[in-house]
């Protein structure tokens, strides 16, 4: 089968590799219909992770079930399914507690809980930027979709970014009537904004500097805050009569940068502490890492000196980490079916697998308008 293979920093290839296969009684193999490039794929692409050469990338996958193992009884061949990016066993303590993002059994790296397809440090699982994908514990992991091709570009957001954005709003405890500040209008930030509105937030501010992304935020009924035009904290404080917001969502991560492009890993955390009210809460789904091979002192990356004293003084709460997709994807699917949720709106490009290398390159350069790229192995 054809697949997108990692060969080193900023080096990918679309190659023939052995077909994905059912390897155990609980496996399924999926024929991929859509697989997206994720912002976090760029962390690997840029050489800022420990991903090994030869890995097939791609953790945002959907498709049709091609084959199942003998222990798979819920999911059937021919089912159209979304594949959560988290690989989870379904029977360990974290899985049964709803934390599939931290499954205790699927990652062989000592001390690492949780696994994913085609991702650095997340276990020996190939990704789905390919024609076929092997899915372990298929009955537990797969989400059924209505048959056919309707809503394809909406449903493809169910594997990662829509639940991830939603998880940000859950960690931030967003409820009806709340005011919310989302930092970052990349795909995850836009999904967080969309989720906050779906949960009944009264006002949702979205902070970014890219006009096309801010325009998308407004299509989701959010209020655009352009930080290239002035301090976003001041803009939000002014818009809220000095009160600030009830909730904050971090959708940027450790590569946060100022308008000049200089990275400041503490920048967004500091802004959130300022802009969120006393006793308010913050959800962090932008990625922070303990080590960053892309900087001079890799082990310094995780030790971020942000304004913890004010965080405490304001009595704020903060939740973090990768989203347990399965906790949300069924409900979000149902909102897509009824037309209330429209995550596919952010799709900017749909290309065949053969164009994946070029697409990575342009997405990584943040070329204008390259918001979200969908790969279609069939086309």
Contact yes or no for 180/169 (Cβ under 8 A)? yes
- As a whole number of angstroms, the distance between CA 194 and CA 308 comes to 29
65 lies in the binding site for a second copy (CB under 8 A): no
CB of 353 to a second copy, least distance (A): 31
Q: Which range of residues in 93-101, 181-189, 225-233, 350-358 is near a second copy by CB under 8 A?
A: 93-101
In which element (H, E) is residue 6 found?
strand 2-8
CB of 218 to a second copy, least distance (A): 14
364 lies in the binding site for a second copy (CB under 8 A): no
Residue ranges in 189-248 that form contacts with a second copy under rule CB under 8 A: 198-200, 202-203
302 lies in the binding site for a second copy (CB under 8 A): yes
Q: Which of 150, 312, 354, 368 binds a second copy (CB under 8 A)?
A: 312
- Residues sharing a CB contact under 8 Å with residue 237, sequence separation 6 or more, in sequence order: 243, 244, 275
Three-state DSSP class for residue 273: helix
108 lies in the binding site for a second copy (CB under 8 A): no
Q: Which range of residues in 3-11, 50-58, 311-319, 343-351 is near a second copy by CB under 8 A?
A: 311-319
Residue positions counted in the chain: 379
In which element (H, E) is residue 63 found?
strand 60-68
- As a whole number of angstroms, the distance between CA 35 and CA 156 comes to 7
- As a whole number of angstroms, the distance between CA 238 and CA 232 comes to 10
Judged by CB under 8 A, the number of residues near a second copy is 79
369 lies in the binding site for a second copy (CB under 8 A): no
Q: Which of 7, 23, 91, 228 binds a second copy (CB under 8 A)?
A: 91
344 lies in the binding site for a second copy (CB under 8 A): no
- CA distances to 38, 48, 248, 284 from 268, in Å: 21, 20, 10, 10
Q: Which range of residues in 8-16, 89-97, 185-193, 367-375 is near a second copy by CB under 8 A?
A: 89-97
- As a whole number of angstroms, the distance between CA 310 and CA 64 comes to 50
Which one, 171 or 374, has the nearer CB to a second copy?
Answer: 171
Which one, 35 or 94, has the nearer CB to a second copy?
Answer: 94
- As a whole number of angstroms, the distance between CA 284 and CA 297 comes to 24
Residue ranges in 119-178 that form contacts with a second copy under rule CB under 8 A: 139-140, 166, 171, 175-178
Q: Which of 49, 179, 255, 347 binds a second copy (CB under 8 A)?
A: 179
11 lies in the binding site for a second copy (CB under 8 A): no
338 lies in the binding site for a second copy (CB under 8 A): yes
Q: Which range of residues in 43-51, 59-67, 206-214, 286-294 is near a second copy by CB under 8 A?
A: 286-294
Which one, 142 or 373, has the nearer CB to a second copy?
Answer: 142
Q: Which range of residues in 44-52, 63-71, 124-132, 147-155 is near a second copy by CB under 8 A?
A: 63-71
Structure tokens at 278: 């006393």
CB of 72 to a second copy, least distance (A): 9
Three-state DSSP class for residue 7: strand
- As a whole number of angstroms, the distance between CA 75 and CA 335 comes to 22
Q: Which range of residues in 33-41, 55-63, 320-328, 367-375 is near a second copy by CB under 8 A?
A: 320-328
Q: What angle do CA 329, 335, 338 make, to 5 degrees?
A: 140
Contact yes or no for 236/271 (Cβ under 8 A)? no
93 lies in the binding site for a second copy (CB under 8 A): yes
Contact yes or no for 191/335 (Cβ under 8 A)? no
8-state DSSP, 93: H
Q: Which range of residues in 11-19, 21-29, 36-44, 150-158 is near a second copy by CB under 8 A?
A: 21-29
CB of 343 to a second copy, least distance (A): 13
Structure tokens at 169: 């709003």
Contact yes or no for 224/218 (Cβ under 8 A)? yes
């Amino acid at each position: 089968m054809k697949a997108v293979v990692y060969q080193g920093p900023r080096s990918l290839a679309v190659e023939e590799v052995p077909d994905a296969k059912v390897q155990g009684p609980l496996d399924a193999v999926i024929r991929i219909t859509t697989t997206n490039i994720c912002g976090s794929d760029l962390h690997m692409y840029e050489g800022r992770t420990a991903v090994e050469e030869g890995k097939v990338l791609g953790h945002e996958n959907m498709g049709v079930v091609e084959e199942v193992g003998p222990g798979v009884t819920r999911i059937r061949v021919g089912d159209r399914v979304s594949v959560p990016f988290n690989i989870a066993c379904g029977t360990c303590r974290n899985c049964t507690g709803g934390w599939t993002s931290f499954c205790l059994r699927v990652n062989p790296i000592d001390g690492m809980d949780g696994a994913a397809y085609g991702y650095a440090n997340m276990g020996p699982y190939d990704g789905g930027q390919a024609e076929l994908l092997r899915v372990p514990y298929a009955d537990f992991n797969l989400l059924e979709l209505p048959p056919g091709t309707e809503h394809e570009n909406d449903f493809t957001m169910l594997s990662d970014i829509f639940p991830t954005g939603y998880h940000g709003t859950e960690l931030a405890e967003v409820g009806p009537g709340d005011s919310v500040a989302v930092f970052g209008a990349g795909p995850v930030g836009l999904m967080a904004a969309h989720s906050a509105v779906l949960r009944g937030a009264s006002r949702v501010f979205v902070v970014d500097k890219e006009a096309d992304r801010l325009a998308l935020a407004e299509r989701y009924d959010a209020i655009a805050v352009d930080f290239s035009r002035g301090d976003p904290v001041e803009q939000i404080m002014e818009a809220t009569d000095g009160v600030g917001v009830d909730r904050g969502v971090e959708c940027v991560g450790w590569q946060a940068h100022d308008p000049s492009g200089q990275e400041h890993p503490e920048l967004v955390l500091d802004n959130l502490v300022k802009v969120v009210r006393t006793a308010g809460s913050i959800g962090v789904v932008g990625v922070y890492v303990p080590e960053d091979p892309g900087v001079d002192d890799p082990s310094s990356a995780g030790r971020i000196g942000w304004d913890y004293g004010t965080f405490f003084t304001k009595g704020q709460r903060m939740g973090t980490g990768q989203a347990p997709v399965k906790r949300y994807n069924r409900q979000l699917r149902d909102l897509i079916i009824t037309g209330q949720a429209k995550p596919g709106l952010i799709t900017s490009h749909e290309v065949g697998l053969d164009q994946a290398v070029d697409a990575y390159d342009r997405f990584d350069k943040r070329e204008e308008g390259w918001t979200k790229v969908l790969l279609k192995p069939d086309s």
